[in-house]
Every structure is written in structure tokens, then in C-alpha cells.
Chains A and B, each alone.
Chain A
Amino acid sequence: NAGVTQTPKFRILKIGQSMTLQCTQDMNHNYMYWYRQDPGMGLKLIYYSVGAGITDKGEVPNGYNVSRSTTEDFPLRLELAAPSQTSVYFCASSYSGSQGQTQYFGPGTRLLVL
């Protein structure tokens, strides 16, 4: 199993450009999450999904969109990139949302918006 994979690893965007961060998991997990990590701030939840066709907002959803058409894929879309979206983005998945379920993280996408 490859686990959770993310592409690209690094990207530079200009203000106002758009892009999609890709996330794929091969563990047949129902739950998937997008977090952003800023220095000294830990990770914050952007969006999550409890299954194909179902998504919901997390703590910091503004400026982002997601879709979940398959169990495996959970892409994150930035429509109009802003400097405040400079961050490291992590995708994670878990079998369920129940109490002790482990979340497995991808290697991250580092995004710089100039």
C-alpha cells in the first residue's frame, strides 16, 4: 500500500491564480481530511469528507473548495490564490471518524503564493 499520496510536493503560485492539490489514498478509508500547517500554529482543519459525495467545512474553509467523487480521491481547490494561503497542506484519511481511529497523513504539499 502506498498509503496517502499528495501531488505536487511544492508549488509557487502568483496571486489570483488557481490550482488543485491532489490527494489519493489506497486504504479504502471512508474519512478524508485536509489540514494546513503554519509555523508555530499546529495544523488546522480546512475541509473533511465522511464518504464519496459528502463534504463539510472545517475550521478554516474560506478560499478553498473540495469534492469527493470517489472513495480514493479528495482534491482541494484554490480558486484565487492569496498570500495568506502560503502554507503546507496535509491530506489525511481514516477508516471512520470513531473515537480511536488513527489518521494517516500524506507527505504534504508546500505552497508559496507570491
Chain B
Amino acid sequence: AQSVTQLGSHVSVSEGALVLLRCNYSSSVPPYLFWYVQYPNQGLQLLLKYTSAATLVKGINGFEAEFKKSETSFHLTKPSAHMSDAAEYFCAVRGSQGNLIFGKGTKLSVKP
């Protein structure tokens, strides 16, 4: 069975600082991993996904994530935070029913 753990329910950074959101997964098969972002009162939007090609995945809005099999991790990073990055971020792994199995989410706050 697959599962996802997001470390830290709330992360706060200053504008211009590095953003690091942590995600660890558990999967008995090669995983397919996703990061989604949710802005207040909106649906989820795909940031990036890992589908067994390159281990470093680049997404929208300057975000990227690196798949590390040895650490079972898929952390999300952005070199310089912007105020518009404030949102909730969800890591997910593809489940056996074609669905997504989500972590509990990390709320990112960006201080001016």
C-alpha cells in the first residue's frame, strides 16, 4: 500500500528565502509522485510530477522537486519565495485505483 507523509503542517519563510517543503513516501511499487498547490477557496493545481524519468523535476512558478529513492523522499523547493507562493501544498502518490493518495498538506506562509 502507498502512503505519503508531509513533515510540518505549517512552514513560514521570509520573502526571498529558500522554500523547502518535505515529503516522504511509502510504496511497494515504483512510485509516481505529485505536488499540488491549493490557494484559499480554490481547487488543487498541479505543480509538478515525477514519472520515473529525470529525478529532478521542474514545475511551474519556479518550483522543483528531487526524487531520492534511497531516502524515499520527494521534497519541494524554490530558491526564492514570493508573497504569491503563500498557499497549501500537497504531496501525493498514485494509488492502485488510479487515484491520488495525499499527504495532510503543508501551509506555507511568506513574510514580507
Which residues on A are within 8 Å of B, measured CB to CB? 4, 31, 33, 40-45, 48, 50, 56, 58, 90, 92, 94, 96-108
Contacts and interface: CB of A to CB of B under 8 A. Distances in A.
Q: Is the interface of B mostly helix, strand, loop or mixed?
A: loop
Most buried by A among B9, B41, B42, B45: B41
A31 B45 contact: no
How many chain B residues sit at the interface, stated as a range, is 20 to 34
A42 B93 CA distance: 12
Given A42-B105, A100-B32, A102-B49, A31 B98 contact: yes
A103 B101 CA distance: 12
Nearest to B33: A100
B102 A105 contact: no
A40 B104 contact: yes
A42 B103 contact: yes
A4 to B, nearest CB: 8
A108 B43 CA distance: 6
Given A42-B90, A99-B51, A107 B42 contact: yes
17 contacts: A33-B99, A33-B100, A43-B90, A44-B102, A45-B97, A50-B98, A56-B97, A97-B97, A98-B98, A99-B51, A99-B94, A100-B32, A101-B98, A102-B46, A105-B36, A105-B43, A107-B43
B21 to A, nearest CB: 14
Given A99-B51, A100-B32, A43 B43 contact: no
Contacts of A108: 41-43
Contacts of B103: 42
A111 to B, nearest CB: 14
Contacts of B44: 43, 90, 92, 105
A105 B43 CA distance: 6
The 4 nearest A-B residue pairs measured at CB: A97-B98, A100-B51, A42-B102, A105-B43
